[in-house]
Amino acid sequence: MVDSVWKARLLPASFRGIPFLIDSHEFNGGRNNVSHETPEGERGFCEDLGKKTPGYNITGHVLGDNYFFIRDALIAAMQNGDKGFLVHPYLGLKEVQPGEFSFSETTTEGRLARFTFNFIEAGNPSFPVSKLDDITSFVTSVVATVAIVQNVFQIAYSVSQLPGYARESAKALINDFVKTVNQKIGGISGNDSGKANLKKKLLEVESSSGLLAVNPASLAAEVDNILSLVRDLPEDKTESSTIDIASGRDENIDPLLELSGYTSNLADIEKLTPTRTREKSNADAIISLIRQCAIVKLSENAVSKDFDSLDSAVLVRDQISDLIEDQIEGDVDDELFNALSSFKSKVVNAIPTGQLGSIETIELFTDVPAIVIAYDLYESPALESDIIQRNAVENPGFISGSLEVLRVG
């Protein structure tokens, strides 16, 4: 009984939302001390230079018939240079910087990859304490939701015993998805390496589309890989970071929002025969897979985004809720229905809305400088740039007419 109590208090281990099983861990901490000694001196002294940055060494493993999907996701997560959230089973949620890692596999231990991870604490999370549970719940649900989406797809999709034209139909739909992603990212500024990696992956999928069409597990993994690369394309901070989602393009949100509603006329197949019915079912399964994976990636970007107004955050939150509702209407697999319904509630709770101001419209009947407007509204010049950027003001010294501003407080 006592043994089960402490085990029940352990959190499920994950990094950047990717789950793994923990075997053991070590914590590194303490103080930074420097010992000072002088020539011929009998005694030295020790100087305290402050607290050491906490470090976490973890050994763990991933296990299962499809363990290589999670293995590859963990590798990508550890090679990402940004800090991320580690759910430590013993120590709770930590914002960390990934360090060295290694993994091993053997033929005698099939379906298993053993990992060793090193993390350095990145600092205190910027989220309020009351928000941590929502963030933790969201990040731990992401991989679980994708896994269920992929599993349902693999059950629904099959080209076994279908004639060649039905397989070619699935191949054509895969290539159409690749073409659509290329079109959606055409205007995104993103850094060269991010777009280059995505372009490379799209070429790989296009060249292997025939093989993917007969391997649902690999197809599901590649769709998720592509959308993950779209998710990770950075904003152009000099041009796009202040654009309001309600009135302009947002490079972290818009492409995934559009792909969440992906459709293709190649899926317009009449169910005239049993083969055509199966072909139509496969096309619908591919489209559902793309939409559902895109919704998850969109949700990840929305949860981590610094929205510039409450209106922007609520708009994106409601758009995602509507997209999820569309996916769980009608005749839906029970497991998928439960997973997406649960995921919806986690997204709604995790999207940051606290401390954000609403947008209101004011009328100026004479020319007023932006800095004067800022002082009048906020008793501070801090939001002058927000007024200028939100309204695309060309001359900040002379502003008149209708103006959108943040209502703070």
**pLDDT, greater one: 29 or 357:** 29
Q: What pLDDT was estimated at residue 119?
A: 94
Paired with 95 in beta bridges are 85
**pLDDT, greater one: 408 or 87:** 87
Tens digits of per-residue pLDDT, 151-181?
889 888 988 888 888 889 999 999 999 999 9
When mean pLDDT is compared across 130-134, 212-216, 368-372, 398-402, the lowest value belongs to: 130-134
Contacts 24+ apart (CB under 8 A), 312-317: 312/244, 312/245, 312/246, 312/356, 313/351, 313/352, 313/353, 313/356, 314/353, 315/245, 315/246, 316/245, 316/253, 316/351, 317/347, 317/348, 317/351, 317/353
Nearest to 66 by CA among 16, 17, 19: 19
- Across the range 252-271, mean pLDDT stands at 85
When mean pLDDT is compared across 72-81, 279-288, 319-328, the lowest value belongs to: 72-81
Q: What pLDDT was estimated at residue 231?
A: 87
**pLDDT, greater one: 382 or 254:** 254
Tens digits of per-residue pLDDT, 203-248?
999 999 999 999 988 999 899 999 998 888 866 543 433 333 333 3
* pLDDT above 80: residue 202: yes
* pLDDT above 60: residue 409: no
Nearest to 60 by CA among 101, 106, 98: 101
Q: What pLDDT was estimated at residue 380?
A: 62
| Percentage of the chain exceeding pLDDT 70 | 80
Report the chain's mean pLDDT, rounded to a whole number: 80
Tens digits of per-residue pLDDT, 179-194?
999 888 776 655 667 7
Question: What is the pTM assigned to this prediction?
Answer: 0.59
**pLDDT, greater one: 382 or 162:** 162
Nearest to 286 by CA among 268, 265, 267, 271: 267
- Residues 25, 59 contacting (CB under 8 angstroms): yes
Tens digits of per-residue pLDDT, 97-144?
999 999 999 988 888 999 999 999 886 554 454 455 667 778 778 878
Tens digits of per-residue pLDDT, 351-366?
876 555 566 676 777 7
* pLDDT above 90: residue 293: yes
- Across the range 22-43, mean pLDDT stands at 82
